[in-house]
Amino acid sequence: MTVNPKQLAGERAAEYVEKGMVVGLGTGSTAFFAIQKLGQRVLEGIDICGVPTSELSRRQAELENIPLIGFDQITRIDLTIDGADELDPHFNLIKGGGGALLREKIAASLSDREIIIADESKVVAHLGAFPLPVEVIPFGWKAIQRRLAELGCHPALRRSRDHAPYLTDNGNYILDCDFGRIDDPPALEAKINAICGVVECGLFIGLTDRIIIGKTDGTIEERTR
Ligand code: 5RP
């Protein structure tokens, strides 16, 4: 039987959820399995409340009958379970491949604990092979693109299948910024977020407590910071 490493990681993470918790529900094909497992646990009777980080995750959680609460109704989250596009040995991440980086980062910043779930392909020695998603307001986006390029990257406007600019759940654009190897993620995050018109970037620094990596051989590796 073939194992799905993302499913292994997602289902293991769901075991960390306890009765009464407010749980941040991440976005993506790995978070999908965590939400699915949480749906099973709700069916079995666990009393939790989910905070979805995207419309996609909200729709899935609704189908799973997970009780939901919005960001405007909470001041903190007990535990968020989310995926990542890259993760380095220092628990720094690139996120936003699925376009939900802003709400994911708000959830992470409000969370007592953040568990990141991934398969082995996401583990890297240095961030940067995956182009860094940067959410920007549509107004004046070309000027913002030029400012980002001055930081040493090639920023490409993300497009939808119909070639129109991809719109985030917040009505913004995403510029995917190919920096190559990122040697100093905190410094880069500060420079990017200082550009007027940038809403948020997909560097997640110091926000992760535990990483759960599902492997193709059926094993699971857990790392704690
Ligand atoms: C969405 C994200 C996702 O967590 C990231 O893209 C990983 O996705 P997947 O689990 O599908 O590989 O940051 O904005």
Residues 15-36: pLDDT tens digits? 999 999 999 999 999 999 999 9
Determine the distance separating the centroid of ligand 1 and the alpha carbon of 97, expressed in angstroms. 5
pLDDT at res. 44: 98
Considering 11, 86, 104, 189, which one is annotated as catalytic? 104
Asked if 104 is an active-site residue, the reply is: yes
Task: Indicate if ligand 1 lies below 6 Å from the C-beta of 53.
Answer: no
Contact 100 CB / ligand 1 (< 6 Å): yes
The rounded percent of the chain whose pLDDT value lies above 70 is 100
Out of 8, 11, 25, 27, mutate this one to test ligand 1's pocket (max ligand atoms within 8 Å of CB): namely 27
Q: Is ligand 1 within 6 A of the CB of residue 5?
A: no
- Ligand 1 atom index nearest CA of 29: 11
According to DSSP H, which parts of 44-157 are helical?
55-63, 101-110, 141-149
Q: Which two tokens stand for residue 44?
A: 């079995």
| pLDDT 10s digits, 187-214 | 999 999 999 999 999 999 999 999 999 9
CB contact at 8 A, 215 and 5: yes
Tell me the whole-structure pTM to 2 decimals: 0.97
Which residues pair with residue 24 across a beta bridge?
Answer: 51, 80
CA of 5 to the centre of ligand 1 (A): 14
Ligand 1 pocket, residue 9 CB under 6 Å: no
Residues in the chain: 225
Rounded mean pLDDT of the chain? 98
Residue nearest to atom 8 of ligand 1 (CA): 28
Q: Using CA atoms, how far apart are residues 204 and 211, in angstroms rounded to an integer?
A: 13
Q: Point out the ligand 1 atom lying closest to the alpha carbon of residue 202.
A: 13
Tell me if 27 CB under 6 Å of ligand 1.
yes
Q: Does the CA dihedral 167-172-176-182 come out positive or negative?
A: negative
Is the distance from the beta carbon of residue 82 to the nearest atom of ligand 1 less than 6 Å?
Answer: yes
At residue 2, the pLDDT reads 84
1, pLDDT greater than 80 = no
Strand order in the sheet with 77-82: 49-52, 22-25, 77-82, 111-119, 210-214, 220-224
Rounded CA gap, 204 and 112, in Å? 15
Q: Kindly tell me if the per-residue pLDDT of 109 is higher than 80.
A: yes
